[in-house]
Amino acid sequence: MYFISLHKIISNLLRNNKINLYLNEFFFIKNIIILQQVKKISTNLNIKKMKKFIYFLFLVSVVFYFTSCSTMTKIDSSWKKPAYTGQKFSKIIVVGLIKDISERSCMEDNIVSSLKLYGINSVSANTVIPPKFFDTDSDGKLDEKYQSKEALTEVFKSYGADGVITISISDTKEKQKYVPPTFGYLPDPYFDFYGYYLNTYNFVYSPGYVVSYEEVFIVTNLYSLTNQELLWSAKSETINPQSTKDLCQSYAKAVAGDMVTERVILK
């Protein structure tokens, strides 16, 4: 019950864009849970054993959080065309501008699946357009015949699409954060002065630790094929994805949900 509650609380903090505060909240919650456990066993353990028990719970909590919580994606910033109030599209083609074919397909397919949950008709570019269709000589550039606006647009229109979503990974960062020892305030009826002073001292003067994590930033654009205008653009941030699949699922769920709730795409 403790682990489930802790996981839910930390996940909610991340969803609400409070990643910079979650460690402080984590330690505060940890102290509450520890005190509840200590109350139950305090009659059978001496102070030395209680110190070991508290330290053990602390380590288990940290390991559990960083190995089991799900990846979170948030929208850092977004832009919408002035006076644009949303549009219902007949079909949207999702195009990943990503070099790796497997990553591109993963991104496209997950956006399509997420939009489908809202009743929005879309298709992955990888399912209708061959990999080398625009670049037959594999030189990393569009073939000359597709470098005109009209020619490129007509390709997507030929599949019955009136909208295009583009996906591009703008940046990936490896970060480290030093977490100093923290002891949250809580009135302590379960310790006498000696017990409280001893355990608090050990927390305050124990060494901190370093947390390593990855951040992936993705830019998503929505265009109208009717007039080729940019209707909406957003930059999202995915924190510490465990795999490509994990990244795709977290990203697609957040971005598709934002497009629908913000009435960028109408059902």
Lowest mean pLDDT among 49-53, 157-161, 215-219, 244-248: 49-53
Instruction: Return the pLDDT at 68.
Output: 46
Q: Is the model's pLDDT at 93 over the cut of 70?
A: yes
Instruction: Return the pLDDT at 17.
Output: 42
The model's pLDDT over 106-143, given as tens digits with 9 standing for 90+, comes to 999 999 999 999 999 999 999 988 878 888 888 878 88
SS3 per residue for the chain:
CHHHHHHHHHHHHHHCCCHHHHHHHHHHHHHHHHHHHHHHHCCCCCHHHHHHHHHHHHHHHHHHHHHHCCCEEEEEEEEECCCCCCECCCCEEEEECCCCHHHHHHHHHHHHHHHHCCCCCEEEHHHHCCCCCCCCCCCCCCCHHHCCHHHHHHHHHCCCCCEEEEEEEEEEEEEEEEECCCCCCCCCCCCCHHHHHHHHHHHHCCCCEEEEEEEEEEEEEEEECCCCCEEEEEEEEEECCCCHHHHHHHHHHHHHHHHHHCCCECC
Instruction: Return the pLDDT at 153.
Output: 86
Instruction: Return the pLDDT at 139.
Output: 80
The model's pLDDT over 75-87, given as tens digits with 9 standing for 90+, comes to 999 999 999 999 9
Give me the CATH code for the 72-173+214-261 domain, please. 3.40.50
How much of the chain, in percent, has pLDDT values that exceed 70?
A: 61
Q: Is the model's pLDDT at 24 over the cut of 50?
A: no
Instruction: Return the pLDDT at 131.
Output: 76
Q: 50: pLDDT confidence band, cut at 50, 70 and 90?
A: low
What mean pLDDT comes out for the span 220-228?
93
Instruction: Return the pLDDT at 198.
Output: 59
Q: Between 212 and 228, whose confidence is greater?
A: 228
Q: Is the model's pLDDT at 70 over the cut of 50?
A: yes
Instruction: Return the pLDDT at 195.
Output: 63
Instruction: Return the pLDDT at 263.
Output: 94
Instruction: Return the pLDDT at 43.
Output: 43
Q: Would you list the domain boundaries of the chain?
A: 2-70+175-212, 72-173+214-261
The model's pLDDT over 146-200, given as tens digits with 9 standing for 90+, comes to 778 888 888 889 999 999 999 999 888 887 777 666 555 445 554 566 666 656 5
